[in-house]
């Protein structure tokens, strides 16, 4: 009799948990976004800016990219919209066509990701990601297949993480660690500030922090990196990422900042 009661209790608990899980998956995107607005306040003062890059494969022009941040409305809530657009040159399209796009929607006061969308069309491989983040209940929701999983509060995505780094007081020799969602998995991103150096980009000389972010860099938005990824961020108050470079399947690829606009 006791065994029968125990089995019945376990079965009822299972049903309750299953019902809870189904409620978590069957969600309202607008409600989730709205209840995750303004969970913390930090010193964030990004202006609307546009960064235009030229991408090179060794010395060969390979494509161009645009990365920007602006304020917008998401379900009537004022948020940051961080975006990237990448495309290969027409000459390269014949052998390795790239048309990639990402959109990050970030809380304007606390600077954490609320929603992330990625459209990838690279060398015939096409994928689409759309995910909403519930920091209150520590879940991500993947809209394509209604799956969910755990996130720590105030997680970043792979694009917003670069802008989060620019908010930090960057110092040589320090390591900065924060959590980043990449393809249904949360990784601890460790950014190592290697040194201060001077580099030339389109005949302009910049004094930069050379930093190395260590995470799943295959998902980096501007190009598909292999091996180590280095980012050169200016030491002035703008903290502009003027060069991003890495190894690819053959040689080295890098994106150099061609123009910078503040709206």
User: In the chain, how many domains are there?
Assistant: 1
pLDDT in tens, 113-147: 999 999 999 888 899 999 999 999 999 999 999 99
- Arithmetic mean of pLDDT, 142-167: 95
Give me the pLDDT at residue 25, please.
53
Torsion angles phi and psi, residue 19, rounded to 5? -65, -40
Share of the chain above pLDDT 90, in %: 69
Q: Cα–Cα–Cα angle for 41, 47, 52, nearest 5°? A: 130
Give me the pLDDT at residue 193, please.
97
Domain carrying residue 70: 2-262
pLDDT at 20 over 60: no
First to last CA, the chain: 74
Give me the pLDDT at residue 86, please.
95
Give me the pLDDT at residue 4, please.
53
- Arithmetic mean of pLDDT, 35-40: 97
Q: Cα–Cα–Cα angle for 255, 258, 260, nearest 5°? A: 115
Give me the pLDDT at residue 92, please.
87
pLDDT at 241 over 90: yes
| pLDDT class of 228 with cuts at 50, 70, 90 | confident
If you search the block for the tokens 């709205």, which residue do you land on?
A: 34
Give me the pLDDT at residue 131, please.
97
Give whichever of 20-24, 122-126, 189-193 has the largest mean pLDDT.
189-193
| pLDDT class of 51 with cuts at 50, 70, 90 | very high
| pLDDT class of 246 with cuts at 50, 70, 90 | confident
| pLDDT class of 5 with cuts at 50, 70, 90 | low
pLDDT at 14 over 80: no
Q: What is the mean pLDDT of the chain?
A: 87
pLDDT at 251 over 80: no
- Arithmetic mean of pLDDT, 51-59: 93
- Arithmetic mean of pLDDT, 76-98: 93
CA distances from 81 to 24, 98, 147, 195 (A): 26, 22, 24, 31
pLDDT at 209 over 70: yes
Q: Look at 21 and 105; give whichever has higher pLDDT.
A: 105
Radius of gyration of the chain (CA): 21
Sign of CA pseudo-dihedral 187, 193, 199, 205: positive
Give me the pLDDT at residue 26, please.
55
- Collapse the DSSP code of 31 into the 3-class scheme (helix H, G, I; strand E, B; otherwise coil) and give the result: helix
Lowest-confidence region among 31-35, 91-95, 246-250: 246-250
């Amino acid at each position: 009799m006791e065994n029968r009661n125990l089995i019945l209790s376990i079965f009822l608990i299972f049903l309750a948990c299953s019902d809870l899980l189904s409620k978590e998956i069957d969600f309202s995107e607008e409600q989730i976004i709205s209840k995750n607005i303004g969970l913390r306040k930090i010193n964030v003062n990004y202006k609307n800016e546009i960064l235009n890059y030229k991408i090179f494969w060794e010395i060969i022009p390979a494509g161009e990219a645009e990365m920007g941040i602006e304020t917008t409305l998401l379900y009537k809530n004022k948020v940051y919209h961080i975006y990237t657009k990448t495309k290969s040159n027409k000459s390269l399209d014949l052998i390795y066509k790239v048309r990639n796009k990402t959109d990050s929607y970030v809380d304007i006061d606390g600077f954490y990701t609320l929603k992330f969308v990625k459209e990838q069309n690279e060398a015939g491989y096409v994928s689409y990601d759309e995910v909403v983040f519930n920091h209150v209940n520590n879940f991500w929701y993947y809209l394509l297949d209604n799956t969910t999983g755990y996130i720590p509060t105030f997680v970043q995505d792979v694009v917003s993480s670069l802008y989060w780094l620019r908010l930090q007081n960057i110092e040589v020799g320090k390591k900065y660690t924060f959590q980043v969602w990449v393809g249904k998995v949360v990784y601890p991103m460790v950014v190592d500030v290697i040194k201060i150096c001077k580099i030339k980009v389109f005949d302009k000389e910049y004094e930069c922090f050379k930093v190395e972010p260590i995470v799943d860099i295959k998902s980096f938005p501007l190009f598909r990196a292999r091996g180590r990824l280095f980012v050169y961020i200016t030491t002035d108050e703008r903290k502009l990422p003027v060069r991003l470079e890495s190894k690819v399947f053959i040689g080295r690829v890098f994106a150099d900042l061609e123009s910078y606009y503040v709206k």
